[in-house]
Structure formats: C-alpha cells, structure tokens
Amino acid sequence: MTALIQRSGPGRVQVDDRALVNLASCDYLGLSGDPRVLAAAHQALDRWGLGSAAGRTLSGNTTLHRELEHRLAAWVGCEDAVLHGSCWSANAAVFGTLAALDAQTGSATAVFSDRLNHASIIDAIRTQRRTLSELVLYDHDDLDGLRRSLTAAAGEHTKVIVTDGVFSMEGDQAPLADLCALAGEFGAILVVDDSHGTGVVGATGRGSGEAQGVLGRVDVLTGTLGKALGGAIGGFVAGSASFTAALRKHSRPYLFSNNPPPAMVAGALAALDVLENDAEPLAVLRARVRQLRDGVARLRLTTYEGDHPIVPIILGDEDRAAAVSTALLDEGVFTTPLRFPMVPRGTARLRLQVSAAHSATAIDQVLGALARHAQD
Ligand SMILES: *Cc1c(COP(=O)(O)O)cnc(C)c1O
C-alpha cells in the first residue's frame, strides 16, 4: 500500500514521523499552502459554509462558481467554461454531451484518441462507445497515422480528436499547433485535456495552448483545479458559448453531482490571481525544473526530454523501480514507482514531480540520492 501521510505542506510530507521531500504531488506552484490562496478559502468557508448541499441546478449555483467559470474561460481564451466536480467528470461530460448532440441531430461521431491519453478520457469514450460510430486509437503523437485515419473516415458526420495537453506519465506536450491545423483541415473538433499544463506551461502558465502559440484555438479544453491551481478539487470544460450551453443541458455529472465547494472555488480564484499578478512561483518552478533535469542528464538517467516538472526516470523493471523508490525514501525523498497498468509493461519508472515549493537544496538532496541508487 502507498505510504500513509501524517502531515503535508507544499513540497513536503511526513511519513513514519520523518519529514520528506515530496516529489509525488501535482502542486507544481506550491499554491496549496500559499497564504493568499488559504486566506481566500478561509473567507469563503466563513461566508458560505462547508458546502451548498446542492448541485448547480439547485441552490448550489453561487456567484462564486460563475465568477470562476468566467475567469477560467478568459484565462484560456475561450467564450465560457463549466465547472465540474473533477476533471474526471469534465471529460465524462464532454463525451456524454457529444453523444447527446449526436442523438439529437441523428449524426454520428468518430473519435481519434492518442494511445497514451489519461484514463479519464479512455473511460469517458468507453462509456459512450455504443453511440460513437468509430473509435481510432492513434500512436502517441503520430500525426501521419492520425492523418491517414482521418482521411479514411472522411464520410463521418462529426470527427473528434482528443489528446492530453501534457502527458501525465511522460511529461511531454502534444503537438497542439499541428493538431489544431489537422482539425481545421478535416473539420474535426479538437478536445484537449490540459490538467498537467494548466498553470504550468506557457509564458504565463495558461497551459499548452499558450506554450504552442494556439491559445484559444482549441475547441474544447478540460482542466483540473486539483493540480497547479491550488491542488484541491474541481474540474472545468472551456469552449464556445454554444458547446458550454449544451454541456449545461446534457452533462450528467453537472446535472446530477455536486460542484467543488465554495472554499475550493475561492481558492482557485486566488490561485488565478497569483498567476496573473506574481511571476515568482512560475519562475522558481522553472529554475528548480532546470536544476533537476540538468542533474538527471549529468547522471545519464533515462528520461523524457522537455521542460515540464514531471521528470520520469525510466527504470524498466518493476521490482527495480520499487527498490529504488524505497532506497530514496530512506534518504528522505518521497517518490512513487509507477508500474503496469499505469504505464506499459517494461517501462516501470519513478515519476519525479518538481514544485516551486522545493528549495534548491532539496533538489540537490534528490540528485544525490538518485546518484547513489538510480544509476546502473
Ligand atoms: C489528473 C488528471 C485528471 C483527473 O483530474 P481530477 O480533477 O483529479 O479528476 C484528468 N486528466 C488528466 C490528463 C490528468 O492528469
């Protein structure tokens, strides 16, 4: 079983009464403990209570929720956004809504999905499998293969290309500019789940669209509040006014499940304020990522190139990944080994996740431990 955490704060956890550097969290900007974020959450808790005990279609439709939807939409360059309880639900909602629209118009949708897409996308598609006319899994980032499949499916009414913005086990970015162009060429809808990109990549942290010069050109963007934007809970779908209106009508998680509670919504709003007004968390994050990635390269460990705070150390063998993780734990470094079915067989790895909350000294400690235990 995964270790039980006794206490935690940005960049660190306590396990078995020992303080550890935490490399197994998506709190990339350290905002889960930022005083500005916490103050906003405290205020909302006092004003609104723990929760509305109601979804958005009942009395849970607060001004705060609507404000966050407007802010998120503007931030990612879309017309509107719809909050959900999680990004898992947001992805389910997107495909549920596409299926509902198909049923209304008598159309049929063919979905083209990157093989390494997140489990929530895979399950969202599976749930709608009966109503989809076709599902094509294209090899990771294989644009030529995707083009061939799109060409072969030319007769379909609706085509949907879906990809992670940043892949969660690799830390690499999808080629969004090329995917936007392909979608345009084939009249396809491009759906991007940018959970690991939101708040992290792009000059001002607006995500993969900003990083690749296509901000606002992705048709449907999903993301989470549970990672860089405060690390709590919540997800969103951003898109055109017409698609988000359809979501509010057809998304079953939106209609039948609670939204994130007001304190979490207020925390996410404050996280957006931080991103818009304070360049330091992103700058510190990037310096720490550089430090870790340069060190990993010097140690000649196998990883994926890039600049994302997800730095996978590919070890291959499952037992070895577990053993290295245990050895790092003894050195005060908390990582989790990722094995099948989270990653393909034979590619077991440690996924190191850097945060702005890590000190340069902490990253040096990690590199020292990797030098002693992760090298062949
Ligand atoms: C983490 C993650 C999710 C799930 O987000 P939740 O808000 O925790 O449900 C969905 N998609 C991707 C790509 C993720 O990395």
For the structural domain made of 7-33+279-373, what CATH number should be given? 3.90.1150.10
Helices (H), ranges, 128-278: 143-152, 176-186, 208-211, 241-250, 252-256, 262-277
Minimal-distance CA residue to ligand 1 atom 5 = 87
| CATH class of the region 35-276 | alpha beta
**From atom 1 of ligand 1, which residue's Cα is the shortest distance away?**
195
- Which residue, 8, 14, 39, is CA-closest to 357? 8
Q: Of ligand 1's atoms, which has the minimum distance to the CA of residue 234?
A: 7
Single out the residue of 296, 298, 221 nearest to residue 23, CA to CA: 296
Give domain limits for the chain: 7-33+279-373, 35-276
pLDDT(114) > 70: yes
Instruction: Kindly give the distance from the C-alpha atom of residue 94 to the centroid of ligand 1, in angstroms, as a whole number.
Output: 14
The whole-model pTM stands at 0.97
Taking a C-beta distance cutoff of 8 angstroms, is the pair 95, 125 a contact? Answer: yes
pLDDT at 26 over 90: yes
Active-site positions read: 168, 196, 227
Atom of ligand 1 nearest to the CA of 118: 13
Q: Residue 47: its pLDDT value, please?
A: 97
Give dist(CA 119, CA 125) in Å, integer. Answer: 10
262: which 2 tokens?
A: 């007001």
Q: What does the pLDDT read at residue 1?
A: 63
Segment 165-189 shows an average pLDDT of 96
User: What is the Cα–Cα distance from 340 to 239, expressed in whole angstroms?
Assistant: 34
pLDDT(107) > 90: no
> Per-residue pLDDT tens for 252-292?
999 999 999 999 999 999 999 999 999 999 999 999 999 99
pLDDT in tens, 295-344: 999 999 999 999 999 999 999 999 999 999 999 999 999 998 999 988 88
- Please give the share of the chain, as a percent, with pLDDT higher than 90: 91
State the closest ligand 1 atom to the C-alpha of 165, by its place in the atom list counted from 1.
Answer: 13
pLDDT of residue 272: 98
Alpha carbon of 107 to ligand 1 centroid (Å): 29
Residues flanking ligand 1, CB < 6 Å: 86-88, 118, 120, 164, 168, 193, 195-196, 224, 226, 235
